[in-house]
Amino acid sequence: MTIVLPAPWQQVLGIDHADPIPSALGDFLEAEERSGKVIYPPRDQWLAALDMTPPDQVRVVILGQDPYHGPGQAHGLAFSVQTGVKVPPSLVNIYKELESDLGIARPKHGNLAHWAKQGVLLLNNALTVEAGKAGSHQKRGWEQFTDAVIAAVAQQDAPCVFMLWGSHAQKKAARIAALETGGHLVLQAPHPSPLSAYTGFFGCRHFSQANAFLERRGRGAIDWRV
């Protein structure tokens, strides 16, 4: 299985070949495809977050768990769906907090590519999932790769904001703190899913905090409109 890692990420990850995924993960994904299982997102979008956000442009990292597992939803950016696809409940809640925090009207679509193109790395912990089975590709080897991506960002000198929503993402906080060299800002809150958003995600004001930090550090605010 060949997956081409963008050249700028090859450099910061210290990978001297195009295919970045562990061989065991590649074997697993090939076997899943051969068995006829549907995998989301499509293969050419597995690394979309890295394609869209080069390492030297990362200003914010938003870490998701794994891709959406419904038809036509996942396209390689955490929490994002293609224009025309119904906005999922977690993203609806993200938009509610964005409106409360910055007064930005809730968008009618769920495509977050505008964020990614400004340096918001929308990275899931596992980058694939079997159709209809949430979490089905966790602990198969993606975490080894995405941990390396997070470490590479944390070790850069340019200050970044890490938004860690939910216990799964918050497990990365200690690793970020141990590796960071740029004086990053780590923000933590409950996950924006309907099951937990009312326990502290709403009112966390992460978007305004991120922009205030980035402006203080000379990196410029994110335009959170989509």
End-to-end CA distance of the chain: 34
Contact 50, 145 (CB under 8 A): no
Catalytic center residues: 66
Yes or no: say if 16 and 49 are a contact pair by the CB < 8 Å rule.
no
Q: What is the CA radius of gyration of the chain?
A: 17
**Partners of 137 in beta bridges:** none
Could you tell me how far CA 24 lies from the centroid of its own chain? 23
